[in-house]
Amino acid sequence: MERSTRVSVFESDKPSEIQLIKSKLDDAKITNSVENSYLTFTTTPTATSLKIMVDLQDEKNAFQVIDAYLQQSENQ
């Protein structure tokens, strides 16, 4: 049984932004998952941060997809 290493490629506390990035990665055929984690320190105990996780070998391609999206949205 081979165990893959998963890495976080994007974090946000906005579910709509996470869903948009997740769909971009899905379109690029990059397997991904979303994880919840509680924020610490200065945030309220109920605030959560969402992370998009991908396999380590897909990390470079995932960052390219995310960078392209962020540049596109920045130029609008």
Residue with tokens 């920045």: 74
Mean pLDDT of 56-71: 96
Query: CA 53 → CA 41, 74, 75, distances in Å?
Result: 23, 23, 26
Mean predicted lDDT score pLDDT of the chain: 87
Mean pLDDT of 59-68: 97
| Of 31, 35, 29, 45, residue with least CA distance to 15 | 35
Mean pLDDT of 38-46: 56
Measured distance CA(18)–CA(13) in Å, rounded: 8
Measured distance CA(75)–CA(70) in Å, rounded: 9
State pLDDT tens for residues 2-20: 667 999 999 998 999 999 9
Q: Is the pLDDT reported for residue 48 higher than 80?
A: no
Threshold 0.85, pTM exceeds: no
